[in-house]
């Protein structure tokens, strides 16, 4: 037993911010950003919150599937940018959509979070514990960014994507890995200690990243993990119809396509318009290509995400 995507949905903030707009407050240019990242614009929240975006994406996925919220068994939200520490975003989504019989919890594996959540849902469903699940990736990364740091503020965007899953017998295989030894490559301290016994004040509360190391890590581990997954299944990149990768950077995606010797046309992207939306990037992409009618019955799809932790994952799914 495994899972099948029955419906998808998205929510993105209204405000689109172009590279030219960013160049008004940091020393950068449209040419530099496009050349190094492929990003042309991104959507940035102006009041929209992680729970609101997650709830709207979830509602759209249920509408797409024609599913009844009262019959949902499980909601998992992948996020690393929730404004509110408690309760979790998934419980807020539960309330928003009226999924009162669902069990709901959040999961943080940074930009790999959506696939970690999808894999988690697959395990629950495959074991027969639940029949269906809503898996959501939702982020307001703009709250965590130092908007005067040109090396990070140009990269990220806000948004949420959701998939509604039901039990099925199509193949769904995954690999997920973590490397905590590399925790200093990409990190963000968020809260000062409020303890009566210890005052810990964080001096830098923004996303901090070693861009070159992330680039090296991503291109290596994504290529290796996808190759391992395909080898285990007796497949080659030629057997795969589409590769849906975490949308961090166009150059990362192009490098992986070359290393896998898979044609770049098999790698749809939205990073140009949405920037890096962390755990939301893959479900946003799935929703786009599904709505464009590009997901056809029987297609073999590989997805792969990577992020802070470091965490990474790849999965193989048949549509």
Q: Rounded to an integer, what distance in angstroms lies between the CA atom of residue 37 and that of residue 2?
A: 36
Cβ-based nearer residue to ligand ACO, 126 or 255: 255
The DSSP annotation for 20-51 comes to HHHTTTSS--HHHHHHHH---EEE--SS--HH
Q: Rounded to an integer, what distance in angstroms lies between the CA atom of residue 177 and that of residue 142?
A: 27
Piece in contact with ligand ACO (CB under 6 A), picked from 2-10, 63-71, 148-156, 193-201: 148-156
Q: Which of 91, 111, 153, 188 is catalytic?
A: 111
32 binds ligand ACO per the rule CB under 6 A: yes
Given a contact cutoff of 8 angstroms between Cβ atoms, the answer to whether 135 and 282 are in contact is no
Tokens of 102: 């669902």
Cβ-based nearer residue to ligand ACO, 31 or 68: 31
Instruction: Please list every residue from 93 through 122 that binds ligand ACO, using CB under 6 A.
Output: 111
Given a contact cutoff of 8 angstroms between Cβ atoms, the answer to whether 155 and 249 are in contact is yes
| Alpha carbon 216 to its chain's center | 20
Cβ-based nearer residue to ligand ACO, 69 or 157: 157
Piece in contact with ligand ACO (CB under 6 A), picked from 72-80, 86-94, 137-145, 246-254: 246-254
Given a contact cutoff of 8 angstroms between Cβ atoms, the answer to whether 100 and 75 are in contact is no
177 binds ligand ACO per the rule CB under 6 A: no
206 binds ligand ACO per the rule CB under 6 A: no
Catalytic, 246? Answer: yes
150 binds ligand ACO per the rule CB under 6 A: yes
Cβ-based nearer residue to ligand ACO, 191 or 212: 212
Among 109, 242, 306, 316, binds ligand ACO (CB under 6 A): 306
| Alpha carbon 202 to its chain's center | 27
Cβ-based nearer residue to ligand ACO, 110 or 286: 110
For the chain, the residue count is: 319
Alpha-helical regions (H) of 74-176:
89-97, 113-126
Catalytic, 88? Answer: no
Q: Which of 19, 188, 276, 315 is catalytic?
A: 276
Q: Which of 80, 188, 246, 249 is catalytic?
A: 246
Q: Residue 153 CB, nearest distance to ligand ACO (Å)?
A: 8
Cβ-based nearer residue to ligand ACO, 61 or 214: 214
Piece in contact with ligand ACO (CB under 6 A), picked from 54-62, 73-81, 158-166, 207-215: 207-215
Among 248, 271, 303, 317, binds ligand ACO (CB under 6 A): 248
Q: What are the distances in angstroms from CA 285 to CA 162, 164, 271? A: 10, 15, 9
Q: What are the distances in angstroms from CA 248 to CA 55, 67, 168, 300? A: 24, 32, 31, 23
266 binds ligand ACO per the rule CB under 6 A: no
Catalytic, 14? Answer: no
Dihedral angle at the C-alpha atoms of 204, 82, 252, 116, nearest 10 degrees? Answer: 130
**Residue positions annotated with a catalytic role:** 111, 246, 276
């Amino acid at each position: 037993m495994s899972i099948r995507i029955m419906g998808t949905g998205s929510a993105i903030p209204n405000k689109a911010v172009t590279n030219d707009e960013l160049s008004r407050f940091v020393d950068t240019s449209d040419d530099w950003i496009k050349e190094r990242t492929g990003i042309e614009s991104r959507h940035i929240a102006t009041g929209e919150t992680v729970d609101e975006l997650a709830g709207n994406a979830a509602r759209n996925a249920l509408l797409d599937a024609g599913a009844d919220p009262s019959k949902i068994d499980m909601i998992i939200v992948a996020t690393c940018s929730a404004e509110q520490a408690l309760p979790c975003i998934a419980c807020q989504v539960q309330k928003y959509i009226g999924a009162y019989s669902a069990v709901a919890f959040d999961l943080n594996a940074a930009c790999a979070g959506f696939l970690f959540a999808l894999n988690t849902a697959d395990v629950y469903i495959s074991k027969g514990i639940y029949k269906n699940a809503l898996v959501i990736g939702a982020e307001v990364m703009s709250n965590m960014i130092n908007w005067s740091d040109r090396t990070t503020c140009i990269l990220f965007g806000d948004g949420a994507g959701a998939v509604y899953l039901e039990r099925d017998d199509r193949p769904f295989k995954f690999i997920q890995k973590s490397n905590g030894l590399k925790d200093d490559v990409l990190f963000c301290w968020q809260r000062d200690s409020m303890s009566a016994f210890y005052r810990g004040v964080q001096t830098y509360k923004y996303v901090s990243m070693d861009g070159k190391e992330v680039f090296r890590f991503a291109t290596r581990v994504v290529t290796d993990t996808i190759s391992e997954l395909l080898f285990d299944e007796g497949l080659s990149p030629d057997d795969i119809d589409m590769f849906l990768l975490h949308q961090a950077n166009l150059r990362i995606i192009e490098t992986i396509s070359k290393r896998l010797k898979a044609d770049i046309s098999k790698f749809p992207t939205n990073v140009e318009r949405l920037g890096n939306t962390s755990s939301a990037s893959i479900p946003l992409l799935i929703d786009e290509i599904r709505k464009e009618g590009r997901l056809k019955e029987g297609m073999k799809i590989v997805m792969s995400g990577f992020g802070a932790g470091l965490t990474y994952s790849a999965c193989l799914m048949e549509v």
